Amino acid sequence: MPDDRLKKYLDDNQVEYITISHSRAFTAQKIAAKAHVPGKELAKSVIIMMDGKMVMAVLPASYRIDFQQLKIALGAKKINLAQEFEFKNKFPDCEVGAMPPFGNLYGIDVYVAKSLAEDEVIAFNACTHSLLIKMKYKDFDRLVKPKILKFTVK
């Protein structure tokens, strides 16, 4: 089952979702292939350090971050990928690299790529490398209230 905190949050907010089990995979593209989810609908969570503050960037698996574009969109002076040691304790109930895009549950601001916000349905890691949750994007948006920015390239 997905992380208890995440599942309870979705259930408490009456969100319809499904879980998808798959064999362990560690890259977003491999997860998409194993779970038979289009890469554009699989949301990957990337932890970023922005001017010394930890934030979460969420984008489709088939895209990558344009750091210059993200830096401008955020109005940041310095932006870089967070190192694993900087964030692994922030998500104690998740396997490293399998964080769901619900930064709000962990006190982290969430920035979603415009390219992902255009999807009707999204899927994402449910705190493990072998389980996804699939739900409507509009429910995700309602619960997380992310800032939507343009910061990806295909």
Q: Compute the distance between CA of residue 131 and CA of residue 20 in angstroms, rounded to an integer.
A: 6
Q: Which residues pair with 109 in a beta bridge?
A: 55
pLDDT confidence bin for 30, thresholds 50/70/90: confident
22 vs 79, more confident:
79
Residues 128-138 have a mean pLDDT of 93
User: What pLDDT does residue 27 have?
Assistant: 75
The predicted model scores a pTM of 0.92
Domain ranges of the chain: 4-149
Q: Which residues does 68 contact at the CB level (< 8 Å), separation at least 6?
A: none
pLDDT digits (tens, 9 = 90+) for 47-94: 999 999 999 999 999 899 999 999 999 999 999 999 999 998 999 989
If we measure between CA atoms, which residue out of 126, 73, 117, 69 comes closest to residue 95?
A: 126
Alpha carbon of 141 to those of 43, 55, 148: distances in Å?
A: 13, 17, 10
User: What pLDDT does residue 25 have?
Assistant: 73
User: What pLDDT does residue 1 have?
Assistant: 43
Q: Which residues does 95 contact at the CB level (< 8 Å), separation at least 6?
A: 127, 128, 129
% of the chain exceeding 70 in pLDDT? 96
Q: Is residue 104 scored above 50 in pLDDT?
A: yes
137 vs 62, more confident:
137
Residue 66, Cβ neighbours under 10 Å: how many? Answer: 15
Q: Which CATH architecture has domain 4-149?
A: Alpha-Beta Complex (3.90)
User: What pLDDT does residue 3 have?
Assistant: 61
Q: Is residue 105 scored above 70 in pLDDT?
A: yes
